Amino acid sequence: MADPFYISTAIHYPNGRPHIGHAYEMIAADAIARYQRQHGRDVFFQTGTDEHGLKMVKTARDRGIEARELADEMSSYFREMAEKLDISCDRFIRTSEPEHYAASQAIWQAMADAGDLYLDRYEGWYSVRDEAFYEEKELTDGEGGKLSPQGTPVEWTAEETWFFKLSKYQQPLLDFYAANPDFIRPESRRNEILRFVEGGLVDLSVSRTSFDWGVPVPGSPDHVMYVWVDALTNYITGAGYPDDRERFAKYWPADIHLIGKDIVRFHAVYWPAFLMSANLPLPKQVFGHGFLLNRGEKMSKSVGNVVDPMQLAELYGVDALRYFLLRDVSFGNDGTFSDEAIVTRANADLSNSFGNLAQRVLAFIAKNCEGHVPGGRAEEADAALLAEVDVACAAFRTAFDDLALSQGVEAWMTGVFACNQYIDAAAPWALRKTDPERMNAVLRTLLRAIRRLATTILPVIPTSAGKLLAQLPSEDDEDFRIAAPSPIFPRLELQASDA
Ligand code: ME8
């Protein structure tokens, strides 16, 4: 039976439309999921929307609608975006689903049974934008008042709430990080979390009474769960917790929680502590990717530089956008984007290099060989090229196994360059009259190389690599006929997006 592989993205707040950061995270997770599927893993890939909490309540109130209505409307845009960007998720979860309420109440009950929840009064700072509690020592003074470490405003809150005994898990967490050095990646995020936990953990307020848009706390009808408790639980809801034991045993613990760098604390501190308390296995890895910057600038509604990923996909094509994001952003670090950068990268790599290579070879065979190339006379250069392509494809796989996505794509390009050098040196068009036997071998070699390269890059650009593969013969097909190719990687012109 295939080895299971569970990957999740963060679930996104549907308090507004999706932005390019959301798209980036889904695309990265999708490339990993597709890659693992291609290599035989039984993949479960989950994404979705995080619909509770004060931020949703306040946004809905400002629009004069109910939180549920806001969630229904906005969640549908996230789902549409996932479809548009070819995100191959197996489940799009919404935290407003009844099944998720049941899972959240079950983990709550397990934490209560462990003696880790107690009722007390909370007084402290809360950031609605981050949906996070902060200690006084973490705050800085801003113009309009105190600011969280993320630079968002905080407000003083005081209410009766349930507390989770987070302090009890300080040492177990430190022991766990020490025993599992790859639990938090990349290294910089791991260090950040180690410092935070070593600094001491205070118990966490995990319920709210001032609004009712959330999962009801079992046995406490006036309380709803703190949004992060139910949000994090989405990962096990999707894996079948608590009732579908077979499914849960298969997919849990998750292999990768892919999230952005701003929410590593929730995933690498709170979540494992909740799971330890409920006596459930911990995820294998939390990977905190970097942030996308618009021409080097942080995106924000007030600056007005928030970019609609659907518009970019519309202007440049889904695969050009996917390719750019995975190739140009060093995975784990921040990265910057602009219309020019997308167009330059897609034209250089996809249109001029890979696309042009495939187009030249296929068009030549369709036109001059009636679509069919017999065996021909092989030379050393042919095996040398295929070996180079295989090295490039193996380097792609090694990098993808290690989540070094941009390095993987870069390594793949070395295979494309090798083909372009080979075709220029072998010049099959010149051989047509002088040495057709040799020409045939060269074309065959190129068909093989292009096929291997297209197969390797499928997880990154699934539609266009799929279209190309559909035009190529499989390696052992002797009856193939190549038709005049339709161009797959058009040259892009710079457009005026909002970026
Ligand atoms: O944090 N570049 O939701 P969210 C790259 N609901 N990634 C970005 C980004 C940017 N500019 N801006 C945001 C939440 N992200 C919670 C998660 S999970 C149980 C609950 C990433 O909609 C961000 O880091 O604010 C996060 O991983 C994801 O987008 C959703 O952010």
Task: Give the pLDDT band (50/70/90) at residue 301.
Answer: confident
Q: ∠36-6-270 over CA atoms, to 5°?
A: 140
Residue nearest to atom 16 of ligand 1 (CA): 12
In this prediction, residues 482-493 reach a mean pLDDT of: 93
Closest CA to 51 of 173, 240, 230, 302: 230
- Output the CA 300–ligand 1 centroid distance in Å: 13
In this prediction, residues 121-137 reach a mean pLDDT of: 93
Residue nearest to atom 15 of ligand 1 (CA): 21
Residues with CB under 6 A from ligand 1: 10-13, 21-22, 24-25, 50, 231-232, 234, 259-260, 262-263, 291-292, 299
The Cα–Cα gap between 101 and 195 comes to 34
Task: Give the pLDDT band (50/70/90) at residue 497.
Answer: confident
Q: What are phi and psi of 224, to 5 degrees?
A: -110, 155
Residue to substitute in 8, 17, 20, 25 for testing ligand 1 pocket (most ligand atoms within 8 angstroms of CB): 25
- Output the CA 284–ligand 1 centroid distance in Å: 20
Q: What are phi and psi of 40, to 5 degrees?
A: 90, 0
In this prediction, residues 46-53 reach a mean pLDDT of: 98
pLDDT above 70 as % of the chain: 100
Residue nearest to atom 7 of ligand 1 (CA): 21
- Give tens-digit pLDDT for 105-128: 999 999 999 999 999 999 999 999
Amino acid 499: pLDDT = 63
* Residue 304 confidence (pLDDT) above 90: no
* Residue 194 confidence (pLDDT) above 80: yes
Residue nearest to atom 9 of ligand 1 (CA): 21
The Cα–Cα gap between 320 and 28 comes to 14
pLDDT above 90 as % of the chain: 93
- Give tens-digit pLDDT for 339-366: 999 999 999 999 999 999 999 999 999 9
Residue to substitute in 50, 59, 274 for testing ligand 1 pocket (most ligand atoms within 8 angstroms of CB): 50
Give the count of beta carbons closer than 10 Å to the beta carbon of residue 16: 14
Q: What is the DSSP letter of 244?
A: -
- Output the CA 150–ligand 1 centroid distance in Å: 13
3-state class of 279 per DSSP? coil
CB 303 within 8 A of CB 309: no
- Output the CA 18–ligand 1 centroid distance in Å: 10
Cα-to-chain-centroid distance, residue 314: 20
Indicate the pTM of the whole model: 0.96
Amino acid 374: pLDDT = 86
Residue to substitute in 263, 275, 405 for testing ligand 1 pocket (most ligand atoms within 8 angstroms of CB): 263
Q: What are phi and psi of 154, to 5 degrees?
A: -120, 150
The Cα–Cα gap between 238 and 49 comes to 13
Q: What is the mean pLDDT of the chain?
A: 96
Task: Give the pLDDT band (50/70/90) at residue 475.
Answer: confident
| Structure token pair of residue 414 | 């070395």
- Output the CA 386–ligand 1 centroid distance in Å: 41
- Output the CA 12–ligand 1 centroid distance in Å: 6
Amino acid 446: pLDDT = 98
Residue nearest to atom 23 of ligand 1 (CA): 260
What number does the ligand 1 atom closest to the CA of 14 have?
Answer: 22
DSSP code per residue over 26-54: HHHHHHHHHHHHHTT-EEEEEEEE---SH
Asked whether the CA dihedral 419, 423, 428, 429 is positive or negative, the reply is positive
Amino acid 498: pLDDT = 72
- Output the CA 130–ligand 1 centroid distance in Å: 10
Helices 187-198 and 170-179 cross at an angle (nearest 10°) of 150
Taking CA atoms, 330 is separated from 36, 186, 292, in Å, by 20, 11, 11
The Cα–Cα gap between 483 and 108 comes to 61
Residue type, 227: V
Q: Tokens 């602009």 map to which residue? A: 338
Residue to substitute in 8, 9, 13 for testing ligand 1 pocket (most ligand atoms within 8 angstroms of CB): 13
The Cα–Cα gap between 161 and 122 comes to 6
Amino acid 302: pLDDT = 75
What number does the ligand 1 atom closest to the CA of 290 have?
Answer: 5
| Structure token pair of residue 427 | 């010049």
| Structure token pair of residue 139 | 């705050």
Residue nearest to atom 24 of ligand 1 (CA): 260
- Output the CA 262–ligand 1 centroid distance in Å: 7
- Give tens-digit pLDDT for 393-436: 999 999 999 999 999 999 999 999 999 999 999 999 999 999 99
- Output the CA 172–ligand 1 centroid distance in Å: 27
Q: What is the Cα gyration radius of the chain?
A: 26
Distance, first Cα to last Cα, the chain = 46
Cα-to-chain-centroid distance, residue 147: 29
In this prediction, residues 211-215 reach a mean pLDDT of: 96
- State how beta strands 117-127 and 204-205 pair: unpaired
| Structure token pair of residue 167 | 């302090």
| Structure token pair of residue 336 | 């910057």
CB 349 within 8 A of CB 323: yes
Residue type, 140: T
Residue nearest to atom 4 of ligand 1 (CA): 12
- Give tens-digit pLDDT for 63-82: 999 999 999 999 999 999 99
The Cα–Cα gap between 320 and 152 comes to 34
- Output the CA 469–ligand 1 centroid distance in Å: 35
The Cα–Cα gap between 390 and 475 comes to 14
Helices 20-38 and 405-426 cross at an angle (nearest 10°) of 70
Taking CA atoms, 232 is separated from 54, 136, 167, in Å, by 16, 25, 19
The Cα–Cα gap between 356 and 438 comes to 22
- Output the CA 412–ligand 1 centroid distance in Å: 29
- Output the CA 373–ligand 1 centroid distance in Å: 51
Task: Give the pLDDT band (50/70/90) at residue 476.
Answer: confident
